[in-house]
Amino acid sequence: MRLGLALLFTAAAASLAQPWASPMNDLLLGAQSINLWQLDQLAKKPAVLVVQGDPQWALDQLQPTFKAQWFKQPLDHFDKSRKETFLQRFWVSDRHYKPGGPVIVLDGGETSGENRLPFLDTGIVDILANATNGLGVVLEHRYYGRSTPVLNLTTDALRFLNNNQSAADSANFMADVKFEGIDADLTAPGTPWIYYGGSYAGARAAHMRVLYPDLTFGAMASSAVTHATVVYWEYLEVIRLNAPQDCVARIQSTIELVDRILDVPFLRKPLKGLFGLADLEHDDDFVSVLRAPLSGWQGRNWDPAVGSTAFEEFCATLLGDRTQPAELGEFMLDVALLNYATWIKAYVSARCPEDHTVEECFGTYDPAKYADVSLSNEWRLWRFQVCTEWGYFMTAPPDPDHPRIVSRRITLEYVSKFCPLSYPPGEFFSIPPLPEVDRAVNSLGDFALAADRLAFIDGTADPWMPATPHSWYAPVRKDTVSRPFKSIQDAVHHWDENGLPNPADEPRRIREIHEQEVDFVTAWLKDFNASGADRLRAEIRKQYEDIMRLDILS
């Protein structure tokens, strides 16, 4: 069974070889990522769209290892006059469960829950369930995958996609779910629930421990972006500091030269032509395309079957010396720029179909590109959350003298312009002028978010690290059993989430973090059992005192 899903995960990873495949990755490219998403769809066969209400909707086509189950949720948890509901999808692994064991739930985050099933099979959920006789669960996030409560993705339809509603979904699920084939009541707080999430879902895991501490006995927040911000230039800074420095030097020199050439109007078109983008009208669109290879950094993983090698391949191209320098006007085009152009032309520009113009493929100024609100345009989901509550618009460094690996033409105005274009005011809801990051996210603790039985796990080379409690801007804290604070050297994005069928085959640093996670979770569960015994003793003592009082009164 495990081999089947491991192969499925490998195949899925191969399908995600494009470095911009992750929704969180998409933020690096801003509006340009929507173009790349649309180009991906053009290259694929039309998908069969299944929605709730369709007779075929409930037919699960996943391998039978884990069967999809469904839990009814209110569309709006906070307005009791509304009666709309939807079905939230989840999957269960009971291969390790024994009565008295905990529930280990993994938050699906901003993607289809099907993409998280490998973690139920060989990853962190299976690791913890195996160590604790626990029940493993993957819970799909509202609006993602098939947990879709609406028939379109207009601004009004998306207004229930927010932090508070999503957290209430999880709390309602934990307090009231019934698992098929298990007679025992495993709801919280009677059963300890350990809530795991990575990236955006990592922040949700931390938020669940703060918002619903009685239900969420413990939480593990991996690469958890507990700090939301409108401008997030630090993403690129992590890449600049951690990527191979010979590669970084060539990226920097290329971007600086590109910016200088673009200052000369008559050289703009021939420069763009070197990258296969001669007819791309706007300079900021052009330099946004040049950011595409940087997205590959986040896609790296310790397991080659899962991770992308796109960044390494880009650097290999960039560092090649086969190209001879050339001249463009008064400028000498060095090997770095010409190799950069070769990579963009081969792996990005070439994706534009012959029946499309370059402007149609890579231009971002046409409002019509953002107008389709059908359910098939799933790019609208995470970006709605970005535009309303999370931010993370990735610009050039605010200090013009700071070294940079993206063009100075990448401004907040440019990277955020898709928000008003994609989500015009509706009848019931309008997006804010800028994301309300402090109200929606940072008010829950920000960099200093902490609680007993809440663990943070981060990678030192993760471009999201500056938005986590391990950030350069965060207060220093200790690593304890009650409040674990783990850092994986040179790791990127939630590298502890996936695992191998044989843990001995994992790299030492991954094997060690998994062992540490098992250690502190089992220690937490001992506290639950002890507190449960204390509660039982207290109840017996109260019953005894009540009996004694009745005897005295009688």
Q: What are phi and psi of 164, to 5 degrees?
A: -65, -45
Instruction: Identify whether the C-beta of residue 219 lies closer than 8 Å to the C-beta of residue 204.
Output: no
How far is residue 111's CA from residue 434's CA, in Å, rounded to a whole number?
24
467 C-beta neighbours (distance < 10 Å), count: 29
333: tokens are 């085009």
Burial 482-517 (b: 16+ CB within 10 A, else e): ebbbbebeebbbbbbbbbbeeeeebeebbeebbebb
Length reported for the chain:
554
How far is residue 524's CA from residue 527's CA, in Å, rounded to a whole number?
5
507: tokens are 């790299």
Please pick, among 199, 222, 308, 349, the residue that the annotation labels catalytic.
199
For residue 519, indicate whether it is catalytic.
Answer: no
How far is residue 104's CA from residue 114's CA, in Å, rounded to a whole number?
17
Please pick, among 26, 107, 303, 462, the residue that the annotation labels catalytic.
462
Q: What are phi and psi of 62, to 5 degrees?
A: -75, 160
18: tokens are 């494009």
| DSSP result, 473-484 | TSPP----SSS-
For residue 462, indicate whether it is catalytic.
Answer: yes
Q: Which amino acid is at 29?
A: L
Instruction: Identify whether the C-beta of residue 388 lies closer than 8 Å to the C-beta of residue 435.
Output: yes
List the strands of the sheet with 193-198, edge to edge: 68-74, 85-93, 135-139, 103-107, 193-198, 218-222, 454-459, 485-488
Instruction: Give which of 18, 36, 288, 5 is closest to 123, Cα–Cα.
Output: 5
Beta bridge partners of 393: 231
Reduce the DSSP state of residue 138 to 3 states and report it: strand
Report H helices in 280-429.
Answer: 283-289, 310-318, 335-347, 358-362, 379-385, 412-416, 418-422
Tell how strand 454-459 and strand 485-488 pair up: parallel
Q: Which residue numbers are catalytic? A: 199, 462
